[in-house]
Chain A
Amino acid sequence: MSQQKPSNKSIWSLPVILAVITVITSAVLMLTHELTKDTIEQQRLEARLKSLQRLLPEQLFNNDVIADAVTIFEPEQLGHRKPKQLFIAKKDGTITALAIPVVARNGYSGDIELMVGVTVAGKITDVAIINHKETPGLGDLIERNKSDWLQQFPGHSLENPEQKNWKVKKDGGQFDQITAATITPRAVVAAIKKALLYQQSTNFESMTNEAIKDV
């Protein structure tokens, strides 16, 4: 009997130890979550605003762009696989510019998600790469912080260059490609063109959050 006691005790102590450690680690996790969640949310919002500000220059709008965003789903025209947010910049109620989400499905590996900023006149303000899985060191040079390839787009429109020249140089178009990576730039240029065509052919005035929600 006296020999059984300690082993019994140690068996019962196992779940207790586990439970104690679980409670402690959970408490630490909860505490950290509580302490950091506001800062994280703020950082996310800031990062989002920052990327939007590149696409929609400040002087173009005085509305709350994030609150006024509408959800669109255009698998045909913009390659969407799920609904995306379209941001509309308005100055005193009139639309001045748009940030159009577009997906290039013909990248080198997987989809490339972009945001194209366009003024009402159809001029590109800027282009942002949101998400991609292109080859590190080659295809990923489309990212703004990895090379200045993206910087060739602002200022262009469907008239400049002509539509048939909306291609990379290798295909007889006007835009630079990236050495040793042609497929990725080709897909991105085509996607930007799609966004411009969409901007030209769509009436954004009638687009409101309510109208979309009703659908």
Chain B
Amino acid sequence: MSEFMRTRLWDNNAALVQMLGLCPLLAVSNNVINALGMGIATVTVVVITNFLVSLIRPMTRQEIRIPLFVLLIASVVTVIEMVMNAYFHQLYLILGIFIPLIVTNCLIMGRAEAYASKNPLWSSVKDGFYMGLGFALVMVIIGAMRELIGQGTLFSQAHLLFGDWGEHLTLTIIPEYSGFLVAVLPPGAFFALAILVALKNKRDAQLKQKEKQVQSETATESS
């Protein structure tokens, strides 16, 4: 994994470290399929907006950059919404309310401001992709946790996203499970996110510890 990818997927993960875009992250992660749909939509939007923001970089002035970004992001999302409504109507009916919600995702504004407005086209597109991917992965993991604990299944209602063959994707992990409501309700999203953040911090601490050990070992050897 290159340094570029690693920063975006792990060290500086949009959801776990920067805590950006919590609104869609918590609201739409009640099962894997919803999370996946929203994740794909978010990656698409952030790649396109990063591309456009980088494209108009020569025109952007410090004083008016925020309204420019808002205009661009809102337009891109609206165009995507209309196109989906016209040509992917089934998907639109499922993700319909979440699409306008993408506008509120600070991840998109954040990447436009922090990266795309200062960097060339191709790396901005890559940045958007990996940042979005990092966000989408966390979202899918939270969705899986909540769905598994809440309903005992994974990939339920996959046919909403993948059509008829999705019917066979649903995995019933815990049969005859009576459900654990809290996981599906909003508090479950906070718990799941907190657990993930804690796990990530623990792993980072372990990695640091190891690094220190290696450093001190090399230090003693050289002395």
Q: Which residues of A contact B (CB under 8 A)?
A: 10, 13-14, 17-18, 20-22, 25, 28-29, 32-33, 35-36, 39-40, 43, 47, 135-138, 145-146, 179-180
- The docked-state distance in angstroms from the alpha carbon of A36 to that of B178 is 44
> Using Cβ atoms and an 8 Å threshold, which residues of chain B touch A135?
181, 184-185
Q: Are B82 and A25 in contact (CB under 8 A)?
A: no
Does any Cβ of A come within 8 Å of B83's Cβ? yes
Query: What are the residues of chain B within 8 A of A14 when measuring CB–CB?
Result: 61, 63-64
Whole-angstrom CA separation of A137 from B146 in the bound complex: 11
Apart from A14-B61, A29-B78, A32-B82, 16 more pairs, CB < 8 Å: A17-B60, A17-B61, A18-B67, A21-B68, A22-B71, A29-B75, A32-B78, A36-B85, A36-B87, A40-B82, A135-B184, A137-B30, A137-B31, A137-B151, A180-B178, A180-B181
Interface size on B, residues (CB 8 A): 33
Bound CA span A21–B78, Å: 16
Q: State how many angstroms separate the Cβ of A50 from the closest Cβ of chain B.
A: 11
Residues of B within 8 A of A40 (CB): 82, 85-86
Please, how many angstroms separate the alpha-carbon atoms of A179 and B89 in the complex? 31
By the criterion CB–CB under 8 Å, are A21 and B157 in contact? no
Instruction: Check A10–B86 contact: CB distance below 8 A.
Output: no
Judging by beta carbons under 8 Å apart, are A21 and B59 in contact? yes
A33 touches B68 (CB 8 A): no
CB distance from A104 to the nearest CB of B (A): 21
Cβ contacts under 8 Å, A10 to chain B: 61
Chain A CB within 8 A of B72 CB: yes
As a 0/1 sequence over residues 133 to 161 of chain B, the CB contacts with chain A under 8 angstroms (1 = contact) are 00000000000000100110000010110
Would A13 and B83 be within 8 Å (CB), given that A138-B181, A146-B157, A179-B178 are in contact? no
Q: Is B120 an interface residue (CB 8 A)?
A: no
Q: How distant is B98 from chain A, measured CB to nearest CB, in Å?
A: 13
Is B17 part of the contact surface with A, judged by Cβ < 8 Å?
A: no
For residue A185, give the distance in angstroms from its CB to the closest CB of chain B: 15
A21 and B56 contact, CB distance less than 8 A: yes
The answer, among B56, B67, B89, B151, for a CB contact under 8 Å with A47, is B89
Contacts of A13 in B (CB 8 A): 61
Interchain nearest-CB distance for B168 vs A (Å): 16
Contact of B30 among A20, A39, A136, A180 (CB under 8 A): A136
- B179 on the A face (CB < 8 A): yes
Which residues from B are CB-within-8-Å of A18?
64, 67-68
Return 22 A-B CB contacts under 8 Å, by A number.
A10-B61, A18-B64, A18-B68, A20-B59, A21-B71, A25-B71, A25-B72, A28-B79, A33-B82, A35-B86, A36-B82, A36-B86, A40-B82, A135-B184, A135-B185, A137-B30, A137-B150, A138-B184, A145-B159, A146-B157, A180-B178, A180-B181
